[in-house]
Chains A and B, each alone.
Chain A
Amino acid sequence: SQQGEEDPQALSIQEGENATMNCSYKTSINNLQWYRQNSGRGLVHLILIRSNEREKHSGRLRVTLDTSKKSSSLLITASRAADTASYFCATAMYYGNNRLAFGKGNQVVVIP
């Protein structure tokens, strides 16, 4: 079964705007990760946030994690056309175990 459920499923924004995606999960986790996928090819790791962390930044990316609500958000600031992709959240349930459970993904289209 799907561990993560992203919301919204599809997002279309203008270049320069911010894009926010949400992810919810059902069980306790060790960490949550966000990945990007272009055109149905390989996934690229964006950011990992541990269960004892609440917020993390990497360049134009900001991830938050609320373990009490079992949810996470990914914010992409000042979006670019190159950010057009599918974005997946994935959870690892146990410490020392990197088996990932992925959500269905968000399709983001950035219009130049």
Chain B
Amino acid sequence: DAGVTQSPTHLIKTRGQQVTLRCSPKSGHDTVSWYQQALGQGPQFIFQYYEEEERQRGNFPDRFSGHQFPNYSSELNVNALLLGDSALYLCASSGPGEVGWGNEQFFGPGTRLTVL
């Protein structure tokens, strides 16, 4: 089992550009969540995808969008990049099925985005 995988590992962009980050969930998982982690901070929830729909969203602007594919993999897109978007972007997968009292989330290694 490969666990959660993310690509690319590192990315350097300039302000105003657009970026796409990719995530493959752990085998058997159907829910993908994305988090942004600024240096020295805890991760911040961006949004969550389930059954190819955005199920819930954190306090992030519309420049952040996503997609989930039928095979449960997911993409995070960020448009009009700002310097403040520089961070580690983490993907987490969980499932399948009902969350109930809560379930363990498996995190990928992250994509380090630097905006110059």
The answer to whether A and B come from one shared complex is: yes
Q: Which residues of A contact B (CB under 8 A)?
A: 2, 4, 30-31, 33, 35, 40-45, 48, 50, 88, 90, 92, 95-105
Q: Is the CB of A98 within 8 A of B94?
A: yes
Residue of A nearest to B44 (CB): A102
Is there an interface contact between B42 and A98, defined as CB atoms closer than 8 Å? no
Bound together, the chains give a CA A40 to CA B10 distance in angstroms of 13
Q: Describe B's contact surface by its main secondary structure.
A: loop
| Cα(A33)–Cα(B103), bound, Å | 9
How many residue pairs link A and B with beta carbons under 8 A? The number is 77
Closest to A9 in B: B40
Asked if A97 meets B90 with Cβ closer than 8 Å, knowing A41-B109, A43-B43, A102-B44, the reply is: no
Bound-complex Cα distance A43 to B12 (A): 23
Besides the contacts A4-B42, A42-B110, A99-B33, what 7 more A-B pairs have beta carbons closer than 8 Å? A2-B42, A42-B107, A50-B101, A90-B42, A98-B105, A99-B48, A100-B35
- From A51, which residue of chain B is reached at the shortest CB distance? B101
B107/A95 in contact, CB under 8 A: no
Query: Which of B's residues lie within 8 Å of A, judged by CB?
Result: 4, 31, 33, 35, 39-45, 48, 56, 58, 88, 90, 92, 94, 98-110, 112
* Cα of A67 to Cα of B31 in the assembled complex, Å: 28
Contacts of A102 in B (CB 8 A): 35, 42-44
The answer to whether residues A97 and B43 also contact, given A41-B110, A45-B105 and a CB cut-off of 8 A, is: no
Name the A residues within 8 Å of B109 (CB-CB): 41-42
